Amino acid sequence: MGIRERLSGNEAVATAMKQINPDVVAAFPITPSTEIPQYFSSFVSNGVVDTEFVAVESEHSAMSACIGAEAAGSRAMTATSANGMSLMWEMLYIASSLRLPIVMSLVNRAVSGPLNIHNDHSDAMGARDSGWIQLFSENNQEAYDNMIMAHRIAENKDVLLPLMVCQDGFITSHSIENIELIEDEKVKEFVGTYHPEHYLLNAKEPIAVGPLDLQSYLFEHKVQQGEAMKNAKKVILDVAKDFEKMTGRKYGFFESYQLDDCDMAIVCMNSTAGTTKYVVDELRATGIKAGCLKIRCFRPFPAEEVAEALKHVKAIAVLDKADSLNAAGGALYEDVVSGMFTSNIHVPTVNYIYGIGGRDTKSTEIETVFDDLATIVKTGEIGNPYRYLGVRGGNK
């Protein structure tokens, strides 16, 4: 039986880290992720874990310390948000290129400027091509569960890529919800002990880490990273199956909500899925066949699976909580329509940029999206596919 508790999203993540008991945690405070290393440092000081906690002078140093620890053969973790991850930008790419399975909690927040400490997905979307696996979390339970699964995925010999678990800053990170924790001994058994095949402190196998890699080999090494990301798809599902056996909680690449027979669907990520599900239920009660597809796994992106799940829908809206500023839609929209086009599936699809800088997205606004989709279903005309939701001055 699980342990019933009431925790904020940050507390839930810190609790998962405590149960994992990593060898090294290096972190620097930044809102809204500050509480995670703060809670964890209390576990260290109280002797609950035997982790080496490194209080560094910047986020760049935090990721550098994690890279050094992981390269030496240790299991390393960190937490950050927005500008903090921006400061460790160089090291994100180095961590993934060195195939180091570091696990990071990314509490999503708008990246400056102008300065804003509230939630959107500009930090995660900016790092989408850095070679990190990205799992998104609708609520506190999912953030906790994703952290428990993270090391099993990242450390798999066919993957060996760093992984970030994303949750919405303040919306889930600071909100208290009922949550079911897993017993410590079960977490320990599930996560297992980290035994890297190659590491710097192995006296029997002297190696170099981070050498110059020019034309002769860099291309091939990047291909290997790409193959590892493809391999991660199977591993993510395999780990999720084992997790379901332990907890009864089922996870996949995405969650289909009232999707099987729907005429129109919204595709979204993180906490917005909860609001969307509420609206779907309200519309279903009136006989309107609405549905939701909540993306959990954004990297690797399950393009074929998403296309298959949406192929019967008559109109789709993809919600992006970050603007790519490319005049061609947000990152999630681009991946969804690319996957569908590649699968030769053609469904009218529009994009909404929403919630920038933490602007509230209410159920009434989600209702307007479904109203727009109903019009598309009726007329067959998309109009402008690149839209804004909740911006002053109306949709554009």
Reported as a single tens digit per residue, the pLDDT across 233-251 is 999 999 999 999 999 999 9
| Mean pLDDT, range 110-117, rounded to an integer | 96
Helix (H, G, I), strand (E, B) or coil at 353: strand
Binned at pLDDT 50, 70 and 90, residue 343 comes out as: very high
Residue span of the structural domain in which 352 resides: 254-389
Beta strands 163-168 and 103-108 are parallel
Determine the Cα angle at 342 with ends 164 and 331, to 5°: 35
What is the number of other CB atoms lying within 10 angstroms of the CB of residue 393?
6
Reported as a single tens digit per residue, the pLDDT across 132-158 is 999 999 999 999 999 999 999 999 999
Q: Is residue 395 pLDDT above 70, yes or no?
A: no
| Mean pLDDT, range 214-235, rounded to an integer | 97
26 within some domain: yes
Residue finishing a domain among 220, 247, 274:
247
Claim to verify: residue 265 and residue 201 sit in the same structural domain: no
395 within some domain: no
**Backbone φ, ψ for residue 293 (5° rounding):** -120, 110
Claim to verify: residue 197 and residue 114 sit in the same structural domain: yes
Residue finishing a domain among 203, 218, 247:
247
| Mean pLDDT, range 304-308, rounded to an integer | 98
382 within some domain: yes
Helix (H, G, I), strand (E, B) or coil at 193: coil
- pLDDT for the residue 211: 86
- pLDDT for the residue 394: 65
Claim to verify: residue 190 and residue 263 sit in the same structural domain: no
- pLDDT for the residue 393: 82
Q: Is residue 1 pLDDT above 80, yes or no?
A: no
| Mean pLDDT, range 301-311, rounded to an integer | 98
